[in-house]
A and B are shown apart, each in its own frame.
Chain A
Amino acid sequence: MTVGLNYFLLLSAGLFAIGCFGLLAKRNAVAMLMSTELMLNATNIALVAFARFHYQPAQPLAGQAFALFVIAVASAEIAVAIAILLLLARQRGSVQADEFDALSG
């Protein structure tokens, strides 16, 4: 049995759905960050799978280059998000996302 593109895309969809569930359902903001990372990894798997199974000699490995950019942006995002989270944890004494209600009417 040869593992084709469909298997990797299914894997990517599953990982994305799990991350989506975590982002929507978790109360802890750090756990929500982790779920975001899961979703970004899922998109990366899809990109790299397309780069592997849809190789274009004109634009070689464009999917892998895109995945690299996604990783860079994700690391920037997580650095800022953790700084904000630690600040919030110190100011509000909580990391539960449903207690951050300063903007609710």
Chain B
Amino acid sequence: MGGLLLAGALAVVLMRSMVRALLALLFTFFMVGIVYLLLNAEFLFVVQLFIYTIAVCGLLAFAVLLTRHVRGGTGSPFNQQVLAAAVVALGLFALVGGVAWSTTWPTTSWPDLARTDDILERALLTRYAVPVVLVSVLLLAALIGAIVLRVREEPEEPAAVIPLGERRRRRRRRGSPALTGDLKK
């Protein structure tokens, strides 16, 4: 199980094609959900399934497909610091993994709960009530921020009243490629 998970994660990082990396990411998220199931976190498994494998992967699919044809898609997927990055990652793994492996962690016995979601939602509604509200405000702010980022780039004036040459000049100033449909006119 763990090997499958790590193989999926490695595929995400090493795949040259972004679409394949996305599929590997989907697989990895699902495997993480299975690990949650092994750890008696059924509610988190469902959350992982809905939020990560559906919502986040859907969003990333939009990002991958919309940015597929822009410049720079070919060539090496790695930058110049790939060796340093590999050294840092291996060192990090040796350090953290070594400590995690060699330490004798204090553990308590699992009470063999029938339903963990009961306990979890009671904790969320009592002890963690304020953080839940804060997170919902954060999500709302992120949603509004994402919408504002997309809306801001719309032109203020209606496009029809701007002369064609002016429109082209503006577009050149903004730096985005001109649409071929406009050039044919």
Contacts and interface: CB of A to CB of B under 8 A. Distances in A.
B59 A79 contact: yes
Interface in B29-69: 29, 32, 35-36, 38-41, 43-44, 47-48, 51-52, 55-56, 59-60, 62-64, 66-67
A29 B78 CA distance: 11
Interface in A51-86: 51-57, 59-62, 64-65, 67-69, 71-80, 82-86
Interface residues of B, number: 89
B124 to A, nearest CB: 6
Contacts of B96: 13, 16-17
B110 A24 contact: no
A65 B41 CA distance: 10
A24 B123 contact: no
B153 A87 contact: yes
Given A53-B105, A85-B67, A89-B66, A17 B92 contact: yes
Contact of B72 (A41, A51, A95): A95
A87 B100 CA distance: 41
B131 to A, nearest CB: 6
A13 B77 CA distance: 24
Contact of A52 (B92, B110, B131): B110
B41 A30 contact: no
Per DSSP, are chain B's interface residues mostly helix, strand or loop, or mixed?
Answer: helix
Given A14-B97, A64-B44, A79 B107 contact: no
B142 A77 contact: yes
A87 B9 CA distance: 27
A39 B118 CA distance: 28
A38 to B, nearest CB: 5
A72 B136 CA distance: 8
B174 interface: yes
A54 B48 contact: no
8 contacts: A27-B77, A41-B28, A57-B111, A64-B41, A64-B43, A69-B135, A84-B149, A97-B79
Interface of A: 3-22, 24-28, 30-31, 33-35, 37-38, 41, 44-45, 48-49, 51-57, 59-62, 64-65, 67-69, 71-80, 82-87, 89-99
Given A55-B111, A68-B44, A87-B150, 15 more contacts: A9-B105, A10-B100, A27-B75, A35-B12, A48-B44, A59-B123, A61-B120, A62-B123, A65-B127, A71-B47, A83-B147, A85-B67, A86-B63, A94-B71, A95-B67
